[in-house]
Each structure stands twice: as structure tokens, then as C-alpha cells.
Amino acid sequence: MLKEPSIIPDQILANHIYQCTINDCCYGPLVDCIKHAVGQEHEVLLRDKLMERNLSFLDENQLRTMGYDKTPDIILEVPI
């Protein structure tokens, strides 16, 4: 019900729950989007730095195509 307050019969309670979810400064959907965007940006920066240094690595997408289901963002092919 917390994820879908519109199914709560009491409209006042549903609205309060919706407002609490939107205004949650730690786990709300807006904060989650920001965290995801920052994470993506840092992955791109890491990839760029590794390419600048000509280091061989596999990224998350490459590891998934190789059959890994849980993957780090990047793994070095040759440890340094």
C-alpha cells in the first residue's frame, strides 16, 4: 500500500502517505533518481579514467553477456 497509496480507501490517509513518500529525503523516489544518476556519472568517469591509462577492463554489460548475474561496475582484466 505504501508504494501505491491510491488503493487505500481512506483518501485523506492515502494523500498523507503519498506526501510522506514524495517528501522522504533519504529513501523517496526523487532521492532514488538522484542517487542512480550520480552512480551512473561516476561509472562513466571511472571508465574514462581507465581508458585514458590504457588499462584493460570489463564493464557490467560485458560481464552480463558472459553470463555473470551479479557484477561489479568494472573489473580489471589484469590486476595492478
Report pLDDT for 3: 78
Alpha-carbon gap, residue 6 to 29, rounded angstroms: 16
Calculate mean pLDDT across residues 44-73: 92
Helix or strand run (H / E) with residue 39: helix 29-52
Grid coordinates standing for 12?
485523506
**pLDDT reading at 42 higher than 90:** yes
Mean pLDDT confidence for 49-60: 95
Residue 14 grid cell: 492515502
Sorting pLDDT into bands at 50, 70 and 90, what band is 76? Answer: very high
- pLDDT band at residue 4 under the 50/70/90 scheme: confident
CA-to-CA distance for 6 and 11, rounded, in angstroms?
Answer: 8
Is it the case that residue 2 has pLDDT exceeding 80? no
